[in-house]
Structure formats: structure tokens, C-alpha cells
Amino acid sequence: MRVTVWVFGSNSGKFEFSGVSTVSQVIEALQELCPRSDFHLKYFNEKLDRALSLDNLVDSEGEVLELTALRKTGDGDEGEDEPRGRSTLKNESHCRIVLQYKGSETPVFLEPGDVPFEFEKGFFTSVVAFMVFRDTQETCNGEAVYSGASYRLPTRDRDILSFKVTNTGVYKVMKTTREEIEIPPNGEQQSAFDGDFRRSFGKTYAVDFKNRTDQTILTVSGESNNFSLLNLDPAVDDRATNIKIKPYKKGYRIGLVKNKYPDEKSGYETDIYKVPKGIKLIEIVSTGKEDVYTVIPTEANGKKSNPLQKDKTKIFYEAKKTFWRDVMIKAGMTLGAAAAAGAAGGAAGALLGGLGAASLGAETSFGGGEASNVTDAAGSLPPPVREGQRVPMEIDC
């Protein structure tokens, strides 16, 4: 398995590894390159246990896994005008920070407890989008609703000591006066649900299914932002179809879709059934009513259990699968436009160059294609990586 790790904190960097199978092995490989450093890894916004197998995070063996490594270095000495040559990001709020590197397909998610961090001053010139999401104290379908704003941080101002995020805004802290000056948001607000910040992972649960009806049933497994669809045809010669059910939170669910050909806005309206552990077979039987079924489980010992009860009806949207890609592209375009409007020629060129392909629909790191070999302000992104090669960045340990 190939693993790409984006290190956040101090000199940020990109590493690629092969031949690693657990989170612990990835951390040990990073520590070989940066002795005396402590890392913890995140998959999207989920912190990973060191013992976790990386196979739990991918759907196929050939998939390239992208992780974030947080390397905490403390919040610096504020008595210094320029702590160790670095500027500091502090989160003194309950807000969630989401940012996107050039060349990365996965955003970096920073919870309040993940920062402060220190990094080289050129760090933000390699960031194409920076957003702060605040809890609106409202809910929708039982989920907390967050409102996000995009910010352009003035990375070339040598008089800035640090950046600070509070519950009311984003501020730059000046070196000499320690004055906190608010940085205004750019563009429109973006709504996100609590579930958008989470991504379940773990082993799939293989269960045999027999469709005892006379029509194909569309099934769903997984969660809103990472689900799989599979057509379950009527059983022929009593043969079962094996479905690997994706995890959802701490359990497993299977969904039976009621509208098989939704448009983009309507989504897949789905009846959800919780699947207990120990089930080896599920039979789906028609009730005589359209899109209403009896779902009968059989345990590993061959004993049939009572029919599964519908847990709820949920709508799955294809757009949710690319939610963060779409949000960060939009934020990055807003950031690039703000830079151009401010006549920050060099910075605007770099930012717009990193987003131009995305806005035109060409191959880019956001679109799931192979990203071009971009270079950040420090010239630190590595050359193309050959199969099986470990390529560290020049990182200040």
C-alpha cells in the first residue's frame, strides 16, 4: 500500500511511504526522518489509534491512502519578536478550521485541541484555501449546523507575529504592539453539518443477501459522505450475493433505496436497517406494497431471527461524496480572487495558478486526478515519486 502523509506543524511537508501496514509503522517512519518529534495521524477529521491497520481505511488494495500528521511543537515564546523564525496559528475558540494544501486531495481538519502550531512564514503560501466553521447552535435532522467562512491570511506581511482564531473572528497579532487586527472573511458563508466533519472507518462486514422479490433492489451501505451503492438482483437458483457492508459510526447498516433514479436534488430515499453482528444471511421478501420489504436475518448457526425493523428513512446525496472537494475549491477561488483584487501580484499568481485547473475542470489535486508537480514558496515539495520510494521533504526537525 502506498501512503501519502502531509505533516502539519513546524515546517510542513509531504512524505510518501510504501511497505507500511499500521498507523504505528507510519509514525515510526516519520520519526526516523524527524527524531525527537511526536506525531499523531488523522484520516480526514478522525484521529487514528497507533495499532490500527491501514487496510481499514481503504476500499481497495491499490488505493493510495492520504493522511494528515499533526506534529505539535507548543505555542512558542511570545516574549520573542519572532519565535524561532516562525509565525504561530492559535485557535482560542470552539471553531473548526479546515484548510487545503496545494497538491493534496484531502483537506486538513483542525479541531480546537489540535492547535496551536508553529510553522515557517512561507507555510500559508502553500495553502489554497483556509476556512473557519462556527457552531450556529442550530440543528437539522438532529445534526448540529456549522457556518463556515473563508479567509485570506496576509502571509507576506513581515510585521505579523501570529494568527489567532476566536469565537468571534480571525485576527493577526502584530509583532511590536501585540495589537490584534481582525481579518475580514471573503465570499459567501458555507453551511456544513456535524456529520460532514466525521468519517467512519473500519473493517467491512461481509453478509450474504438473497433477494426473494421479482425486482432488482438498490442497496446502500456506509455513511452520507462515504457510501456505496449495489444493485441486488433477484436470487437465481437460490444463490446469494455477498455484500461488504461499510461501517457506520460504531455499527453496520444496510439501506434499501425507495427511489432508484433520483435527480441531483432529491437524492436516494432509503429505508435503513441496523445489521447486528453474528448475521451471515439476510433475505429480502416483498410485502406486496411497493418498495416495502420484510428483511429476515439468519444467524451464523443457521437460526432465523425476527425480521429487522426499519431504523429510519434517510436520503443519500451523491454530492455529499465530493462535499469537501467542492467547498474547498470554491473557498480557494474566493481566496485567489481576493488576492488578485488586492493587487498582491506574486501571491495572486501562485494561488490562482493552483486553482485554475480546478475552475476549468482539468486534472488537479482536487479532482481526484494526479496533481502536477507544484512547488511551494520554500521550494519544498518533492520530485515525482517512483513506486516503493520514500521521499521526505526537507523538514526542520
What pTM, to 2 d.p., does this model score?
A: 0.71
C-alpha cell at 311: 431504523
How far apart CA 278 and CA 108 sit, in angstroms, is 37
Q: What are residue 182's DSSP bridge partners?
A: 171
3-state DSSP assignment of residue 83: helix
Which of 333, 362, 368, 328 is closest to 66 using CA atoms?
368
Per-residue pLDDT reduced to its tens digit, 183-233:
999 888 999 999 899 887 888 899 999 999 999 999 999 888 888 899 999
Confidence at residue 371, expressed as pLDDT on a 0 to 100 scale: 30
Confidence at residue 336, expressed as pLDDT on a 0 to 100 scale: 58
Query: What residue spans of the chain are helical by DSSP H?
Result: 23-33, 323-341, 345-360
Confidence at residue 259, expressed as pLDDT on a 0 to 100 scale: 80
Residue 181 pLDDT more than 80? yes
* Least confident window among 81-90, 195-204, 311-320: 81-90
Confidence at residue 42, expressed as pLDDT on a 0 to 100 scale: 92
Kindly list the distances between the CA atom of residue 48 and the CA atoms of 148, 165, 190, in Å, as whole numbers in the listed order.
Answer: 25, 25, 28
Q: In what order do the strands lie in the sheet with 108-110?
A: 108-110, 96-101, 127-140, 143-150, 186-193
Confidence at residue 34, expressed as pLDDT on a 0 to 100 scale: 82
